[in-house]
Chains A and B, each alone.
Chain A
Amino acid sequence: MLAPSLSARKPRFRPYADYGPTAAPPKEVPDTDELVNVVVYLDSVPGGSELPAPSGTPTLEQLNEHFVPHVLPVLKGATVEFPNRDPVFHNVFSLSSTRTFDLGRFPKGESKSIRFPKAGLVQVFCHIHSDMSAVIMVLDNPLFAVPNLRGHYVIEGVPPGEYRVVAWHERIKPISDRVRVTAGQTATLDFTIPLPAPPSQP
C-alpha cells in the first residue's frame, strides 16, 4: 500500500496577490485541489491487466461548465460515461491519438459514453465551452490512485515486488521512483511535485 504525501509547492505560488514571497501560506493547509489532478500509478506491472478492475463506472461529469474530475485515470478497456449535469448543451471531443472522438452535443440529463481500449492519455474538450478540458489517463493496470486534498494517496492490492512508481500531472514531466513492496506490508513513497500556478480565477 502506498501512502505518499504530496507536498509540492512552488515558492511563487501565491493564492493572494498581496502576499510577499516570504509570506507563504502554512503547509498544513492545502492550497489547492490541484493535488487531485495528480495520478500516481505503477508502471509496467507484469500481469497487471489480470488484476481486478476498479468497481463502478468511471464518469466524467459536465458540471458548471467544467469536466469533473479534471483528471480521470481508468483501466484500459473501460467505458467512461459523460453525463451532462448543466442546463446548457455540452460537447465532448478529443483530438488525442489514444482515442480520438467527438460525442457531439447533448443537453442536460443525457449522457454519452465511450470505451477506451488503448492505454494512453486522452484530452477531452468541449466545443461549446472552450475553457472546459479534462484528461482521461488510460492505464494498463488498475494500480493507480489520485491523491486526496491533503496529498495522500493509497494504492492497494499491489503484489509484492519491486516497481517503478510514476507521478503524473499534466503540467509536468512524469516523475518516477522505485519501490519495493513486500507482502503484508505498506510501502511508503513520497513525491515532491512542482505544480504550476493554480488557475488565477475560479
Chain B
Amino acid sequence: MTGPVTAEAPTMGAVARAAKALRGATLNFKLVVFGALLTALVVGTAFLPLSLVIRGNTKRLVAWELSQNLQALIGLQNQGQKQLLWTSSVITEHPTLRAAMETYRLESVMSQSPRAELLTTIQHEVEGIVSGLGRDLLVITDDHGRVLAASERRGIHPTVGQDLSSMKMIRHALDGGDSTTSGLGVARFGDVYFEIGSVPIVLRGIPIGVLLLGDRLDDAYVTQLRQSLGGALVVVANSSQIIATSFPTASNDPRPFRNAVPGDSGTRAAVVKLGDYEYVTAPMTLGRDESGDRVTLYLLHPLSETLGPLNRSLLLSFMVFGVLSVLLAGLGAGLVSRSLMKPFRSFVGFMESVARSGDYSHRFDARDGAVEVQTLNASYERLIDSLAQKHVQLEQRTIEVSQANQSLREEMRERGQAENALRLSEEQLRQSQKLEAVGTLAGGVAHDFNNLLTVIGSYTDLVMAELDEGSPLLADLEQVRQASDRASGLTAQLLAFSRKQVMQPKVLDLSGVVGGIEKMLRRVIGEDIELKTIKEPSLLSVKADPGQIGQVLLNLAVNARDAMPQGGTLTLQTANVELREKDPDRNPMMAPGRWVMLALTDSGTGMDEATRARIFEPFFTTKGPGKGTGLGLSTVYGIVKQSGGFIWVESEPGRGTSFKVYFPAVDEVEDEVDWTDKPAHATAGSETILLVEDEHPVRALVRRCLERDGYRVLEAEGPAAALRLTAQHDGVIHLLLTDVVMPQMSGKQLAERVATLRPNTRVLYMSGYTDDTVAQHGILEEGTMLIEKPFTPENLAARVREVLDAPPRDAEPVGPQV
C-alpha cells in the first residue's frame, strides 16, 4: 500500500497548494476562474448526453441497416430453402432410387431379409446425386424413418439403419405435411450443425421415405453469406457455442451474445462487445435442433467503426467550442468583476487616502454609487467616527502615561541619588566610627599622659626654681622640661583629634583669622612656595575656637608644604556656600543651609585613593621616619568635627591636593579676638582655694604651687570631701579649683552644688580631658574658666589670678557671702 500513498501525496499537495493560492487571490481572479470552471463544467456536461444521443442514434442507424441486411438475409435464406426443397423434390423423382427403395421396402415387408444390393444401389445413387449437387448432406430414410442411405461431404452423417423417426421434420414429411413450411430446420449430426430441408419421397401418392438435404452451418457458410451482405456473421448454438463465424480470428466465447437472444416478438438490435470493439447485432433464429437448442445467426455491424470518426469530429468541435466558451466566460467574468469592483476600488482608494492623511473628518461621496457601496460607506463612517473618538481617548491616555512615566523616572532618579547618598553616608559613618574609636583610645591615653606630664613638668619647674643660677643641674633639668613640653604638645594633638580638646568657641570671621595667621603661614611654608589668598570680603561668620582654626590652618599648610618639596603654589580661599534642599552635589551628611568654606589647595604631588582614605588616621604618615608625627591631619579632623563642620579632600597623584573645610555659618555678632601675646599677670595671692582633684600627684603638685604663691589651699580628694569642706569651712572660699572628670560627680555638678552653698565662690576648672557630656556639646558654659592640663606652675598661677581678679558677674555678687 505505500506506493499509491506516496504517489498521491504530491498530487494532494499540489491541489492543496492550488486551493491555498486561490484563497489568497483577488476577487477578480476568483470570478474569472469560477466563470471559466463553470463553463467548462457546462460544456463537459453537455458533451456527455450529446455523446450518448449520438451513440444511440448511430446504434439505431446501424440497427436499421442491419435489419435491412437481415431482410435481405431472410430473403436469401428463403431462396436457399426453396432451392433446397426444390432440389430435394427433384431428387425424389430419381427413378432408380425410387425403384430401389420401393423394392427394398416391399422385400422388407414380405421377408425379414431384404437384399443388401438394393441398399447399395440406393447409396450409390445418393452419392451420385450429392457429388453433382454441391450440397453437404443427403440422407434417405424409408417410410419408417430409418436411414437407408446417407452421404456427407466430410463423412459426418447418420449411419444406415439409424432410426430418425423421432425427428420432427421426418415425421412431418412422412405424414404428408406441407414441406415448404416445416420441411426446413436445423439438425445436428455428430458435432456438426446442418441447415436442412426435408421432403417425403412419394410413390403413387404414398410416402415411401424421406429425403434430407442440407448444408453445414460452418465458417464457409457464413463467409459466403457475408459476401452478399457485408458486416460480420456469427452462428451461435444454444447461446453456448459458436459454431460458425466470419471473423478470421474468432473468439470462441459465446458469452457476449447471451444478451442478444432474439425475442418471441421478432428480432431486436442489441450491442455486444467483442474484444475492444462494440457491435450492433441483428439476431435471426435459424431453427432448433432435436434437443430444442436454438441456433441463432447474428448479423453484426461494428458500432465503434461507425462511431469513431463521428466521435472524433464531435470531440474536436466540442473542444474548440469549449475552449472558446471558457475564454469568453473568463473574459465576461473579468469584465463583470471589473465593473463590480470599480466603486469598491474607488472606495478603497478613498480609505487609503484617509489612512495616509489621518483626517477622520474626510467623507466619501457615495450618492452615485450602488446600494452596496452606500451601505459600506455608512458602515465605514460609523467606524471612522468611533475610531476618531478612540483616537482622542488614546491621545489622552498617551499623555497620562507619559506623565506617569516621567514621574516614575524622576522617582527612580531620586531613589538612585538617595541610594548613592546612603552608600556614601555609610562609608563616612564607618570612617567616622573608626576615627571615633581611635580618638577615644588616644584621648584616654592622652588624659593620663597629661596628668603625668603635668607632674613631671611642674616638679621640674619647681626644682629649677629652687636651684641656684649656676647650678650645673639646670641644663639637665631644662632638657627634662623641653621633653616634657614636647610630650605635652603630642598629647594636646591627640586630644584635639579625639575632639577632647577643650574648646573655647567664638563667633569669627574666617577671613580675618586667615589674615591674622597669614604671616606665620608664610614662614612655615618657606620661600619656595607661593601663597595665594582669595578671601571672600563678605564672608559669613562661624562659631569656632580661633586657636583651633589656627591649628587647622597650620597643619594643612605644613601638609601642603611637604607635598611640594620642589615648590609650588598654595592657594588659600574662603567662600560662602549655600546648600539647598535638592542640591544633587550636596554631601549627604551636610544639612542644607549656609556654610562657610575654607579651602587650601596645593600644586603638589597629590595622593592616591588608598592614601586619601587613611590620611585622617592618627600616626598615619607618608613621610619618612622622624619627619612627622602622623597626627597633623588627625588633629585637623578632630577640630573640624568638634566645631560641627566637615572636611573633604580631593586629590589625584601629580595634580595636587585640595582640602575643603566647611563650618556652619552663624548670624551672631563677631567676638573680638586678640591674637597678640598677653603680658604676664601677677601670680601671687592670699585667697582661700578649694582644690578638688582625685589624682593625688596632681593634687599635691597644685597645692604646692598654690601654697608657694601664698594661697591658702583646702584640699579635697573628691566631690564629697569638697562639699564637706565647703560646708564646714569657717572662712571664705574664694575659688573652687576642680578637676572636670571625677568618679562620683563631674566638676560642673560639684561647682553647681558649691554655688548653692557659697554663691560667691569662683570656679576654675582643670582639665586635660573634657567628659563625654561636655564634649558632646563641645563647649563649656559661657564665662566658665578652664585651665588645660598639662599646665605649668606659671600658667596655673596666672590663670588663678585671672579668675580671682575678674570682675564679678552681673547677677552675682563677687565677694564671699559670709
> Which residues of A does B touch, CB under 8 Å?
70, 93-97, 121, 123, 125-131, 133, 135, 170-174, 196-202
Which of A96, A127, A197 contacts B96, CB < 8 Å? A127
In the complex, what residue of chain B is closest to A125 when comparing beta carbons?
B99
Task: Tally A-B pairs: CB < 8 A.
Answer: 69
Ranked nearest first, the 8 interchain pairs of A and B with the lowest CB-CB distance are: A199-B205, A130-B95, A125-B99, A95-B103, A130-B98, A127-B95, A130-B93, A200-B205
CA distance in complex: A174, B204 (Å) = 21
How close is B177's CB to chain A, nearest CB, in angstroms?
A: 11
For B102, list chain A residues within 8 Å (CB): 123, 125, 133
Which of B93, B107, B118, B203 contacts A133, CB < 8 Å? B203
For A93, list chain B residues within 8 Å (CB): 99
Q: Is the CB of A128 within 8 A of B95?
A: yes
CA distance in complex: A130, B92 (Å) = 9
CA distance in complex: A197, B646 (Å) = 177
How close is A89's CB to chain B, nearest CB, in angstroms?
A: 13
Q: Is the interface of B mostly helix, strand, loop or mixed?
A: helix
How close is A31's CB to chain B, nearest CB, in angstroms?
A: 14
CA distance in complex: A201, B97 (Å) = 21
CA distance in complex: A125, B104 (Å) = 13
For B363, list chain A residues within 8 Å (CB): none
Q: Is the CB of A95 within 8 A of B100?
A: yes
Q: Is the CB of B94 within 8 A of A172?
A: no
Which of the listed residues A126, A131, A200 has the most CB atoms from chain B within 10 Å of its own CB? A131
19 extra interchain contacts, Cβ-Cβ under 8 A, other than A123-B106, A131-B93?
Answer: A93-B99, A95-B99, A95-B121, A96-B103, A97-B115, A121-B110, A123-B99, A123-B102, A123-B103, A127-B95, A129-B95, A130-B94, A130-B95, A131-B98, A170-B109, A173-B110, A197-B176, A200-B202, A200-B205
For B202, list chain A residues within 8 Å (CB): 131, 200
Q: Is the CB of B205 within 8 A of A135?
A: no
B82-114 interface mask toward A, CB cutoff 8 Å, 1 = contact, 0 = none?
Answer: 000000000011111111101100110110000
Known pairs A95-B121, A123-B103, A125-B95; A172 contacts B109 (CB<8 A): yes
Q: Is the CB of B109 within 8 A of A198?
A: no
Q: Is the CB of A70 within 8 A of B94?
A: no
Q: Is B206 an interface residue (CB 8 A)?
A: yes
How close is A168's CB to chain B, nearest CB, in angstroms?
A: 9
CA distance in complex: A128, B107 (Å) = 23
How close is A62's CB to chain B, nearest CB, in angstroms?
A: 14
Q: Is the CB of A133 within 8 A of B206?
A: no
How close is B440's CB to chain A, nearest CB, in angstroms?
A: 175
For B115, list chain A residues within 8 Å (CB): 97
How close is A111's CB to chain B, nearest CB, in angstroms?
A: 21
For A131, list chain B residues within 8 Å (CB): 93, 98, 202-204
For A172, list chain B residues within 8 Å (CB): 109
In the complex, what residue of chain A is closest to B97 when comparing beta carbons?
A130
In the complex, what residue of chain B is closest to A202 when comparing beta carbons?
B205
For B204, list chain A residues within 8 Å (CB): 70, 131, 133, 199
CA distance in complex: A126, B102 (Å) = 12
CA distance in complex: A106, B109 (Å) = 32
CA distance in complex: A126, B98 (Å) = 10
For A70, list chain B residues within 8 Å (CB): 204
For A95, list chain B residues within 8 Å (CB): 99-100, 103, 118, 121
Q: Is the CB of B109 within 8 A of A125?
A: no
For A197, list chain B residues within 8 Å (CB): 176, 206
Known pairs A97-B115, A198-B205, A199-B205; A121 contacts B95 (CB<8 A): no
For B100, list chain A residues within 8 Å (CB): 95
CB-CB contacts below 8 Å: B545-592 with A:
none
CB-CB contacts below 8 Å: B620-672 with A:
none
For B98, list chain A residues within 8 Å (CB): 125, 130-131, 133
Known pairs A93-B99, A123-B99, A199-B204; A135 contacts B106 (CB<8 A): yes
Q: Is the CB of B110 within 8 A of A174?
A: yes
In the complex, what residue of chain B is closest to A196 when comparing beta carbons?
B206
CA distance in complex: A135, B121 (Å) = 20
CA distance in complex: A97, B94 (Å) = 21
Pairs A–B under 8 Å by Cβ, sample size 6 = A125-B98, A125-B99, A131-B202, A131-B203, A170-B109, A200-B176
How close is B403's CB to chain A, nearest CB, in angstroms?
A: 137
Which of the listed residues B115, B202, B206 has the most CB atoms from chain A within 10 Å of its own CB? B206
CA distance in complex: A199, B93 (Å) = 16
Known pairs A95-B100, A201-B205; A126 contacts B95 (CB<8 A): yes
CA distance in complex: A182, B389 (Å) = 163
For A199, list chain B residues within 8 Å (CB): 204-206
For A174, list chain B residues within 8 Å (CB): 110
CA distance in complex: A123, B118 (Å) = 13
For A130, list chain B residues within 8 Å (CB): 92-95, 97-99, 203
